[in-house]
Structure 1
Amino acid sequence: MTSADVIVIGGGIAGISAAAALSEEMSVVVLEAEARLGYHATGRSAAIFIRNYGNATLRALNAASAPFFEAPGEIADGPLLSPRGEMLVATEEEMPTLSAYAAGAEGLEHLSPAQAVELVPILRPERICAAVIEWDAQDIDVDLMMAGYGRCLKANGGRIETAAAVRGLRRHGGLWQVDTPRGIYRAPLIVNAAGAWAGEVARLAAACPIRLIPLRRSAALLPAPAGYDVTQWPLFASAAESWYAKPQSGKLMISPADEDPVAPQDAWADDMVLAEGLHRYEQAVTTPVTRVETSWAGLRTFTADRSPVVGFDPGTEGFFWLAGQGGYGVQTAPALARLTAALCTATAPQLAGDVVRALAPQRLLPAA
């Protein structure tokens, strides 16, 4: 039996970053069900930091995370970001969506159809009514980020146990007992960072029934269009988010931006959903899709209001929620890790009070 001050369930970017922050003041054990860290949502992320992505709460988290990405300290020797940019293009029908996005955004530049095509030459100018670009959107080195957090955790005496799926949870005498194939672990505090499985972990702990919805998102890797060097292109997407394309290793990753509810699982791409998304992408560009090199899918897990749930469970002692990050987990991890450490050590959070309240589990419980 292994004892610690806190057990973090889940070895994705949320769990590892929070564990590293907690390990500065507490003894920490991370339990990951898979054989390696970051296997599910973290390893299948589009890996881009977009400051204007998400609702107002998420944009506050993005802003709070930005200084870390630019100067990650002991996590990495230099910035975790590299230039990319994100451009949204709108058909006439998508103009209200683009206008609403731009109204709540900062740092956007409006582009003409000709300027959009200059940046991404395969776009069809006749289909573009308007476009905007966030030049400050940047690629994230997720592998370096994960490795840095893991290194700091271990340097502080923390442990990472893989292939350690949680089979049972029981609280007795002020301690949680966590049963796994690797043995039994005990701690007074559990941080539930289990991603798509966070709801199942909460049920094992008899915590409050907060609804979490895993949504599948598919992607495919295509060869670069013949005659084009895509490496300097921005991520480009429809304003209605019916598809997006991102340069990756000299090729193009295309996603239909699907959000199909599924049970927690090792997700795979649905061929029909992928084909429909690639068709929508083809309608926006001049080059046909001739070959898909590989495809995959990941799960983006949301709460009802699409903001993460971060804080102590109102009805279960020693149970802390760190879940529901949706498609924003990597870029909000630095801010949420610091918030988790602050709340778990009863110190003042760096985030504004209204943001902390907008993340609290209480907001998602049925009215009395």
Structure 2
Amino acid sequence: MQARSDFLVIGGGIAGASAAWWLSRTASVTVLELESQPGYHSTGRSAALYMASYGPPQVRALTLASRPFFDVPPPGFAEHPLLTPRGALLFAHEGGEAALAAHEALVRSVSAGVRRLTPAEALAQVPVLRPKGLLGAVLEEDATDIDVDALLQGFLRGVRARGGQVVCGAGVQALRRTGGEWCVQTGAGEFRAPVVINAAGAWADAVGALAGAAPVGLVPKRRSALLFSAPEGMATGGWPMFMDAAHEFYVKPDAGLLLGSPFNADPVVPHDVQAEELDIAIAIDAIERMTTLTVRRPRHVWAGLRSFVADGECVIGQDPLVPGFVWAAGQGGYGIQTAPAAGELCAALALGHALPASLAGVDPAAVSPARPGLAEE
């Protein structure tokens, strides 16, 4: 096992894996993962949708910048396409006119593939919507499912193919910097590099504290989900993901079943999060109120952590006070759909390179850990 690299990436989820992939094109990289397998916490529990209208401005910019990579991955990156057509439909009942109009304007700002649907057209897309009082819907046609495992494994496989290493069971215990180099003590031994990338997800502030960095104010939030059976005899595979305008729930087809969530974002401490019974009950109530679906018994329930800072944007870039310490954190619920561009941005900033043309729409200052009021807002 190689003890010294040009870069140590702490965290083997999608943020760390994507940054490591871009860095490994020109530098030696070691990824240090706490768990026995990469992507155990947030990455492996994502609903995995590419939706250009989702998130605050810089997240949307990173999402749009990621689309070319998703559409045409590098040769050998994956055995099959990373994206599968899905669509995303937001519907509203009486009283939701303003929300419907605002969502349409937002989608039109990032995509030409948008349609305003009449009630009849919305029901043709999702026949289980309750028709009484239905105003219509907005369909984001170019929203797609993402193969999260293929994406994560493609990044990690590329790192290894270029001579990098991914070390599991390597939870960070201590960091110290001497002579312009970091020494990182882990459960798998000691590793050294001039630069550390902090991609530790919900634990990123804790890792930052070990390095002497000020917190960026990460708040991990629980998002719960359930899988349940589709109505017998009803073909649901071609439905778009659908959600109500008040964001009480969303549902999307998933391998012959339906995946639902209450859109919850409950602050928690970083841990191996589990779904709460109340979360699932809230989701089922909303689904059954606004659709004709009946959830008799969930097939499976789970939860994931989505970590946010005060302004909702990602935190990517060099720490303002600690040399050689680069943040790749605060991905919220957007880490999968932004991964290609976010990883490229992190690598460019860590290497001190100019941003490539592919990131022309991204403002590094707006995602920098040095941006004003980050932890105080």
| Structure-2-length-normalised TM-score | 0.94
Q: How many angstroms does 1:79 deviate by?
A: 2.9
- The residue correspondences of 1:29-178 to structure 2 (distance < 5 A) are 29-74=30-75, 75-106=77-108, 107-178=113-184
The aligned counterpart of 2:25 is 24
**Could you tell me how far apart the structure 1 residues matched to 2:93 and 2:167 are?**
49
- The residue correspondences of 1:1-368 to structure 2 (distance < 5 A) are 2-74=3-75, 75-106=77-108, 107-350=113-356, 351-352=359-360, 355-363=363-371, 364-365=373-374
Q: Which segments of 5 or more consecutive residues in structure 1 lack a partner in the other structure?
A: none
Q: How many angstroms does 1:82 deviate by?
A: 0.8
Q: Which stretch of the first structure deviates more once superposed, 277-286 or 311-320?
A: 277-286
Q: How many angstroms does 1:64 deviate by?
A: 0.3
Native 8 Å contact 1:85 1:135 kept in 2: yes
Native 8 Å contact 1:61 1:336 kept in 2: yes
Which secondary structure state, in structure 2, belongs to the residue aligned with residue 297 of structure 1? strand
Q: Aligned partner of 1:105: which letter? A: V
Native 8 Å contact 1:41 1:300 kept in 2: yes
Native 8 Å contact 1:196 1:300 kept in 2: yes
**Could you tell me how far apart the structure 1 residues matched to 2:253 and 2:149 are?**
17
Q: Aligned partner of 1:343: which letter? A: L
Q: Which stretch of the first structure deviates more once superposed, 100-109 or 58-67?
A: 100-109
Native 8 Å contact 1:95 1:130 kept in 2: no
What is the RMSD computed on CA atoms of the aligned residues? 1.4
Which secondary structure state, in structure 1, belongs to the residue aligned with residue 302 of structure 2? strand
**Could you tell me how far apart the structure 2 residues matched to 1:176 and 1:319 are?**
9
Which secondary structure state, in structure 2, belongs to the residue aligned with residue 326 of structure 1? coil
Q: Which stretch of the first structure deviates more once superposed, 63-72 or 86-95?
A: 86-95
Q: How many angstroms does 1:202 deviate by?
A: 0.7
Which secondary structure state, in structure 2, belongs to the residue aligned with residue 2 of structure 1? coil
Q: How many angstroms does 1:55 deviate by?
A: 1.6
Q: Aligned partner of 1:291: which letter? A: R
**Could you tell me how far apart the structure 1 residues matched to 2:275 and 2:9 are?**
29
Q: Aligned partner of 1:87: which letter? A: L
| Structure-1-length-normalised TM-score | 0.97
Which secondary structure state, in structure 1, belongs to the residue aligned with residue 107 of structure 2? coil
**Could you tell me how far apart the structure 2 residues matched to 1:147 and 1:37 are?**
9
**Could you tell me how far apart the structure 2 residues matched to 1:29 and 1:60 are?**
28
Q: Aligned partner of 1:99: which letter? A: A
Which secondary structure state, in structure 2, belongs to the residue aligned with residue 157 of structure 1? coil
Q: Aligned partner of 1:335: which letter? A: A
Q: How many angstroms does 1:283 deviate by?
A: 0.5
Which secondary structure state, in structure 1, belongs to the residue aligned with residue 306 of structure 2? strand
Q: Aligned partner of 2:66: which letter? A: S
Alpha carbons of structure 1 residues 260 and 127: separation in structure 2 relative to 1, 3 Å: farther
**Could you tell me how far apart the structure 1 residues matched to 2:10 and 2:100 are?**
38
Aligned residues, how many?
367
Q: Which stretch of the first structure deviates more once superposed, 353-362 or 52-61?
A: 353-362
Q: Percent identity?
A: 48
Q: Which segments of 5 or more consecutive residues in structure 2 lack a partner in the other structure?
A: none
Alpha carbons of structure 1 residues 127 and 179: separation in structure 2 relative to 1, 3 Å: farther
Q: How many angstroms does 1:99 deviate by?
A: 2.0
Native 8 Å contact 1:52 1:59 kept in 2: yes
Which secondary structure state, in structure 2, belongs to the residue aligned with residue 343 of structure 1? helix
Native 8 Å contact 1:211 1:304 kept in 2: yes
Q: Aligned partner of 2:102: which letter? A: A
